[in-house]
Structure 1
Amino acid sequence: MRQVRLGRSAVTSTRLSFGGAALGNLFTAVDDATATAAVDAAWAAGVRTFDTAPHYGLGLSERRLGQALRGRPRAEYQLSTKVGRLLEPVAEPVGDDLADGFAVPATQRRRWDFSADGVRRGLEQSLLRLGVDHVDTVYLHDPDDHLDQAVAEALPALRQLRAEGVVGAIGAGMNQSAALTRFVRETDVDVVLLAGRYTLLDRSALADLLPAAAGRGVSVVVGGVFNSGVLADPRPGATFDYTPAPPELVERALRMQEVCARYGVPLRAAAVRFALGHPAVASVLVGARNADEITDAARQFDLPIPDALWADLKASGLLSADVPVPKDGP
């Protein structure tokens, strides 16, 4: 699979990346064998970039991803994780972590920490869980309510880690484009990870983040390309950003699906490829909880999509005329 460089760093990424949230039992549990099979299937499909975070299942995603990649040559894949939430053991665990979205026992608690010490401690913990001596990319994870500290303390710590060679690229990952635009404009990040805000249904990042990133030579990794479900299977009851999708969004997705069907292309294929039409976007990050899901995503990613399909979406008013669209293969 084609690889591209992340910003001005030496780190590269495959155009399709594997998101590890589901390996942390996002919403529902998966067993270890199923999690390993998902990573194996991603590898078989040519994916070489894998993303995780301590937040995902209180470290379970990191442990499972590290185990699944163990034995493969470290130089042949890229690994990213995140800092900003330290995991601390609970003396007397009670219940599960479903309030934060993960079907795991509540044996640890998260504590926000974007201090320089918190960044180093968090990364040390992640390296132990992953079972590696370095990661390629580190993101500040959801610093929405801690922006000043993240810029003043966490980023300098990441810069130092980058200078020491502990990490190759640094950035921030969020579900909003406005704050990421600040990181792009005011700091020397290599890459940002944006979830859900540059999709066929939500193109809000086109107004701020994407032109800023293109102008500064910062790469953007786009996640949440299905907006949690409605662009994978549009129907009444489908979800948009993990809540029931408004009827007007379901209707719009169904209209997009009709256009795609005229060209023999599944909507999810257009959804997974759309973001790569923008020159700032380096990779699309797709989460999967089993081998079938990532195999399907890779298959959709590789499908030829005729230029006429994108033109038809624009002519139908489903995409704005000035939205950049893919013009070649992935």
Structure 2
Amino acid sequence: MVKGDEIVELGRTGLRVSRLGLGLASLGGLFEPVSDEQAAATVDRAWQLGVRLFDTAPVYGYGRSETRAGRALRPRPRDDYVLCTKIGRLIEPGGPATQPIWADPPPGVGPRLDFSRAAVLRSVEDSLARLGLDRIDVLHVHDPDEDYPAALGEAYRALDDLRRAGVVRAVSLGVNHADAAARFLREAPPPGPDCVLLAGRYTLLDQSGLADFLPLCVTRGVAVIAAGVFQGGLLTQPRTRNAPPAMRERIAALRAICAEADVPPLAAAIQFPFGHPAVATVLAGARSPAEIETSAALLAHPIPARLWERLHASGLLPADTPLPATCG
């Protein structure tokens, strides 16, 4: 059984994180607005639950997530938590507002993709100003596949210099595609990224990270932060209606096995990644105190070994999938 407040090493970084991290995209207004007060209350509740890993990005609400994260975290002892943010998109006046997913973003600004060295250094300065903090612990190269040559040739080298200078503790990738992450790990000059935030590619519905990427991380001592474990709500009934027929069948079968074991499907989803030795922590997004409470409860829900065995036997998980520790 996984406890969200358990503190573990984040691979070789020297940083220590909680098993449950808080993803702060929702607090930037992902899909619907969130008030300053609600954002602060969400971070407060996460802290009370033992969450000590917080992940944001400049593009989340065009700076709003970072601003709210900093405001909520500044009163906390700085050495008691790990803060991650990202580089790759500068938030600028008149920038192209190309992402309608952000509700009520700050007026007159938008993101511009830029992995150049100058942009990386400026992005870090801008993030520190919005956060109002003295340092960033983990810096992700955000979506490096958007401009792979520049992300590898300029952005990574700039972050490596910042790491060597002690400005940041760890260099990471924030990716949605396991193959892109594996390529980056192989092609980056030593010592390479310290960790990778992998979204949606090692979950109950998508194990595409299992064949190449995750074994590579184990070999190289790269810690994985698993995100997108709920697959954007696909495991819940309303979202399932929009899924392709084959996916609906897969989800129905998964739900039936979970029902037999008296386990909520979302509990299995949030605990599944911990079966792999590369995975150090799981990020869950939340836009309210109740949502992070729910994620913490799902992570602590007892799961019998027979659930994982049935998922193996049914073919819903590949036979070589490593499984989480269970309650027996």
Task: State the superposition RMSD in angstroms.
Answer: 1.8
Greater shift, 129-138 or 252-261, is seen at: 252-261
CA distance in 1, matches of 2:181, 2:111: 23
**1:221 corresponds to:** 225
Question: Helix, strand or coil for the counterpart of 2:104?
Answer: strand
Question: Helix, strand or coil for the counterpart of 2:180?
Answer: helix
Q: Once the two structures are superposed, what CA deviation does each residue of 1:170-221 show, in whole Å capped at 9, x if it has no partner?
A: 0111111111001222221100111111110111111221111111111111
Gapped runs of 5+ residues in structure 1?
Answer: none
The two structures have a TM-score, normalised by structure 1, of 0.92
Q: Give the direction of change, closer, same or farther, for the CA distance of 1:175–1:66 in structure 2 (3 Å limit).
A: same
Greater shift, 247-256 or 113-122, is seen at: 247-256
Q: Give the direction of change, closer, same or farther, for the CA distance of 1:236–1:42 in structure 2 (3 Å limit).
A: closer
Matching of residues 160-175 of structure 1 within 5 Å: 160-175=161-176
CA distance in 2, matches of 1:156, 1:81: 17
**2:140 corresponds to:** 139
Q: Once the two structures are superposed, what CA deviation does each residue of 1:206-243 show, in whole Å capped at 9, x if it has no partner?
A: 12211111111111111100110012x1x25437xxxx
The yes-or-no answer on 1:194 pairing with 2:198 is yes
Question: Helix, strand or coil for the counterpart of 2:302?
Answer: coil
The counterpart of 1:51, out of the listed 51, 55, 59, is 55
Matching of residues 17-56 of structure 1 within 5 Å: 17-56=21-60
Matching of residues 55-204 of structure 1 within 5 Å: 55-90=59-94, 99-187=100-188, 188-204=192-208
What is the one-letter code of the residue matched to 1:159? D
How much has 1:328 moved relative to structure 2?
Answer: 4.8
The yes-or-no answer on 1:286 pairing with 2:284 is yes
Question: Structure 1 segments of 4 or more deviating over 6 A?
Answer: none
**2:240 corresponds to:** 238
How much has 1:105 moved relative to structure 2?
Answer: 4.0
**1:266 corresponds to:** 264
Residues 267 and 299, structure 2, Cα contact 8 Å, conserved in 1: yes
**1:321 corresponds to:** 319
How much has 1:103 moved relative to structure 2?
Answer: 3.2
What is the one-letter code of the residue matched to 2:177? Q
State the identity %.
Answer: 49
How much has 1:100 moved relative to structure 2?
Answer: 4.8
Question: Helix, strand or coil for the counterpart of 1:286?
Answer: strand
The two structures have a TM-score, normalised by structure 2, of 0.93
Residues 176 and 200, structure 2, Cα contact 8 Å, conserved in 1: yes
Q: Once the two structures are superposed, what CA deviation does each residue of 1:239-267 show, in whole Å capped at 9, x if it has no partner?
A: 7xxxx322321232222122112222111
CA distance in 1, matches of 2:85, 2:308: 34
Residues 28 and 64, structure 2, Cα contact 8 Å, conserved in 1: yes
Q: Once the two structures are superposed, what CA deviation does each residue of 1:269-303 show, in whole Å capped at 9, x if it has no partner?
A: 00001011111111111111111111000011011
Gapped runs of 5+ residues in structure 2?
Answer: none
CA distance in 1, matches of 2:70, 2:59: 15
Residues 27 and 98, structure 1, Cα contact 8 Å, conserved in 2: no
Q: Give the direction of change, closer, same or farther, for the CA distance of 1:144–1:102 in structure 2 (3 Å limit).
A: farther
CA distance in 1, matches of 2:176, 2:99: 20
What is the one-letter code of the residue matched to 2:240? A
